[in-house]
Amino acid sequence: MAFEITDSNFKQEVLDNEGVAVLDFWAEWCGPCRMIGPIIEKLSTEYDGKALIGKVNVDENAEISVEFGVRSIPTILIFKGGKLVDRHVGLTTQAVLAQKIEAQLAA
């Protein structure tokens, strides 16, 4: 299951993380977010132990959303070593996200 990232645990779980972290910015009322949700859950299982796959509810965690300029959801942010390295806005496929994660794991 995807890890819940909040304003309070973001620094510890993402910025202080030396590895790869993938964050799905979403909201309960967002149709495309509900469509990408199962993809994020599959990726969290597939990359368990290799990358942190997390979800950020934008309605409950505005601080992170504002800090990284998330204006449309779903937005996927990929971090490596605590630095933002990739961003995808809108609905996408599991294959596209897996390719982005693999590229960061290999780098």
How far is the C-alpha of 61 from the C-alpha of 8, rounded, in Å?
9
Active-site residue among 5, 14, 20, 33? 33
Q: Is 16 a catalytic residue?
A: no
For residue 1, is pLDDT > 90?
A: no
For residue 107, is pLDDT > 90?
A: no
What pTM was computed for the model? Answer: 0.95
Phi-psi label, residue 57: left if phi above 0, alpha if psi -120 to 50, beta otherwise: beta
Domains and CATH numbers, the chain: 3-106 (3.40.30.10)
Active-site residue among 7, 17, 30, 41? 30
Pairing verdict, β 51-57 and 20-26: parallel
Q: Is 33 a catalytic residue?
A: yes
Reference 63, options 23, 13, 1, 7; nearest CA is 7
pLDDT in tens, 14-58: 999 999 999 999 999 999 999 999 999 999 999 999 999 999 999
Q: How far apart are the first and last CA of the chain?
A: 25
